[in-house]
Structures are given as C-alpha cells and as structure tokens.
C-alpha cells in the first residue's frame, strides 16, 4: 500500500555523530520535505510530497556532504513480524517492477532496522524479491547494479522503492561499501582511498606518478601502486617494510612542507591523509597545487574536531576551491571524524 497521505518517503543514511547535519542539509536542499522519524541511529526518514526524480535533481544541484546514501520509499507496508511478511513484501514490490529497465541489471538491497529476533533474514528477503523480479524479466547483478530495489524493514513496517543506483549516492545499501581485506594490506586507511575512488568515479592513470603526503605507513601508497602508478611517499616516519625496497616507490623522509619547497616536479595524483587539523592540511594542499599536472587529481581527508564540524568543513572546501576544481566531497562510510575531498587541476 502507498503511504496513507500519498507522499513518498526519502530514506537517508549518515554517521551517528553527523546525522543531524545530514538532516539539515537535506531539508535545505529539499525545502518541500519535512522531518518524520529515525528508523535507526543512522537511518532517517523525510516526508516528500513530490517525485523521486525531483529529489534527485535537487540533490544534484546541492550535493550532500554528510549524507552517504539516499533512496525512495514509494511503498509502505505494515508488517506482522511473521514469516508471511516475505510473501507480502514480494507482492507489494511487484507493481514497482513496471518501472524496471530490463536492459539494465538490478539488485535488491535489504536492511533490517531495529532490535530483536526476526522471523526472516536479509538474504531470505533479497532472494525472494530477486527471484520474483527475474521471473518478471529483470537481469540480476548484485555486484554492479544499475538499478536498485531498496527494502528498509523495521519491526512495524517496510519501505520499498526502485531507483537508479547512481541516484542513491552509493551503489551499496546505506552507503556501506565494504572491501575484502587483501593479503599484504598495510592499514585500514586503504579502504578510505578505495571508497573515494569508487564514489567519485576516479580512474588512476596506470604508469602515472603519484605524490603521497604524510604517507607512513604507506596504505595509500600501496593502493596507488596496485593501480600501476609510481609513488613518491613523503613522511619522516618509516614506511612499511613491503614498500621499503619497492622499485616503484621513492621514500622522501622529510615533512611535506619541506618537500614542496625543495622539489619542483609535477604529479598526476596528489594524496593527503595526514593527521593534521583542517586548516593546516588545506594549506599544505594549496601549496601542493603547483605540483599537480594539468588535469591531475588530488584526494585528501579533512580532519574535523567534535564541535563546529559543518563550519570547519565548509571553510576547508571554500579554501581549497580557490585553486582547485571540486570533483566531490562526502563523509564516506570508512571516514570517521573527517570528510574525503576529491579535487582536480583544470
């Protein structure tokens, strides 16, 4: 059944500590929306009296910084918390298949929100809905879907909606993009860079040169190496032993500021995950601008204090875009008290 007031719902996900900032930025970008409830500490619901396409257009004009995932709730189904809910959800989602592009792959993304025992699991729901939509002519691709049937289930009701994956801000349910730990991985910081490359759709140039500022122990350096790049890793601290003798890595054991003063080369990629306050890190990146080749990309994290996060983040973006073109900025799943920023030299 549709929402009783004929308005759809927008479900959004953000970190617990940033959820109020996410709600505020969405209400600013979507002035027709109104707050409704929180389904979990990280998932909120807005009432939206217009179309999903209208919401997508508005968020393209004002890209969210604190919201990592958004999806439509076109159908709201009361639940009995009984195994028969599975069949009821399959039936309720059926009419949405009329909007499915059968030439493009889809996936079902289910989230169970709330505490307690469930009479069914996430994978059971995914399988039941996927089988039904495949029978309706859909082409299932869990790893790389172009379309997503989003299913957000609470003990009381379920929210169901169909959207293009690109319009959800992330291809992953709730923006929870997870990576398998690889053999030889140096640090979990690698996940931050891998997620940034995926979310901002950045392809690193194989054979290009990267400058990794504040590189130790070398997680981001390792990611660039695996993309076929040569890396100058700048940090007074030691790199991981696996990088020490790597032929594609040159370690400059000095601080970033000194390197940028003494070395005049240009690089295809600038990386910066330094443990430095937002203002200091941005100043380093502004100095590094002249070391970036035309058309080159820069990826950095901006560390944020517990207070005034929004003001400091916006100030950092304002400073950076005095010189760089902004590709995107977001608090990603693998970020903590920081945002990830992708930049370009035009």
Along the 346 residues of the chain, how does pLDDT read in single tens digits?
344 467 899 999 999 999 999 999 999 999 999 999 999 999 999 999 999 999 999 999 999 999 999 999 999 999 999 999 999 999 999 999 999 999 999 999 999 998 878 999 999 999 999 999 999 999 999 989 999 999 999 999 999 999 999 999 999 999 999 888 888 889 999 999 999 999 999 999 999 999 999 999 999 999 999 999 999 999 999 999 999 889 999 999 999 999 999 999 999 999 999 999 999 999 999 999 999 999 999 999 999 998 899 999 999 999 999 999 999 999 999 999 999 999 999 8
Q: Is 289 helix (H, G, I), strand (E, B) or coil?
A: helix
Here the tokens at position 116 are 């307690």
**How many Å apart are CA 306 and CA 233, to the nearest integer?**
30
Which residues touch 245 (CB under 8 Å, ≥6 apart)? Answer: none
Residue 4 confidence (pLDDT): 47
What phi and psi values does residue 303 have, to the nearest 5 degrees? -75, 140
Could you list the active site residues? 303
Residue 233: burial class (beta carbons within 10 Å; 0-12, 13-18, 19+): buried
Radius of gyration of the chain (CA): 22
Q: How far is CA 24 from the centre of its chain?
A: 18
Helix (H) or strand (E) holding 152, with range, is strand 147-153
Distance CA 168, CA 111 (A): 15
pLDDT digits (tens, 9 = 90+) for 292-312: 999 999 999 999 998 899 999
Report the first-to-last Cα separation within the chain, whole angstroms: 50
Per the CB < 8 A criterion, the answer to whether 229 and 207 are in contact is: yes
Among 322, 318, 276, 266, smallest CA distance to 300 is for 276
For residue 346, what pLDDT is reported?
A: 84
Instruction: Please tell me the predicted confidence (pLDDT) of residue 324.
Output: 98
CA distances from 259 to 213, 270, 279 (A): 9, 13, 19
- What is the Cα–Cα distance from 48 to 133, expressed in whole angstroms? 27
Q: Which domains does the chain have, with CATH numbers?
A: 8-175 (3.30.2130.30), 189-344 (3.40.50.150)
298 neighbors 326 (Cβ within 8 angstroms): no
């Amino acid at each position: 059944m549709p929402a009783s007031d004929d308005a759809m719902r927008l479900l959004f996900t953000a970190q617990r500590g940033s959820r109020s900032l996410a709600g505020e930025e969405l209400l600013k970008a979507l002035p027709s929306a109104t707050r409704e409830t929180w389904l979990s500490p990280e998932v909120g619901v807005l009432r939206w009296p217009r179309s999903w396409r209208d919401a997508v257009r508005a968020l393209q004009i004002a890209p969210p910084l604190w919201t990592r995932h958004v999806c439509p709730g076109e159908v709201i189904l009361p639940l009995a918390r009984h195994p028969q809910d599975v069949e009821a959800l399959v039936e309720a989602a059926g009419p949405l298949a009329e909007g499915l592009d059968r030439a493009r792959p889809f996936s079902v993304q289910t989230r169970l929100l709330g505490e307690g025992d469930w009479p069914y699991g996430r994978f059971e729901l995914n399988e039941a809905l996927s089988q039904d939509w495949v029978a309706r002519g859909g082409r299932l691709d869990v790893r790389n879907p172009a379309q997503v049937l989003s299913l957000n289930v609470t003990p009381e009701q379920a929210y169901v909606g169909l959207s293009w994956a690109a319009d959800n801000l992330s291809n992953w349910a709730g923006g929870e993009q997870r990576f398998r730990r690889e053999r030889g991985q140096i640090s979990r910081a690698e996940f931050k860079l891998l997620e940034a490359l995926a979310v901002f759709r950045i392809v690193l140039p194989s054979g290009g040169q990267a400058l990794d500022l504040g590189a130790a122990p070398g997680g981001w350096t390792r990611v660039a190496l695996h993309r076929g790049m040569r890396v100058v890793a700048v940090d007074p601290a030691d790199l991981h032993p696996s990088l020490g003798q790597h032929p594609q890595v040159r370690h400059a054991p000095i601080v970033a500021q000194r390197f940028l003063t003494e070395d005049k080369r240009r690089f295809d990629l600038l990386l910066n995950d330094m443990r430095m306050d937002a203002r200091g890190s941005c100043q380093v990146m502004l100095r590094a601008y002249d070391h970036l080749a035309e058309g080159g990309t820069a990826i950095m994290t901006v560390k944020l204090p517990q207070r005034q996060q929004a003001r400091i983040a916006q100030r950092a973006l304002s400073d950076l875009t005095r010189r760089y073109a902004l590709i995107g900025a977001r608090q990603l799943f693998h970020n903590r008290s920081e945002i990830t920023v992708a930049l370009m030299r035009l």
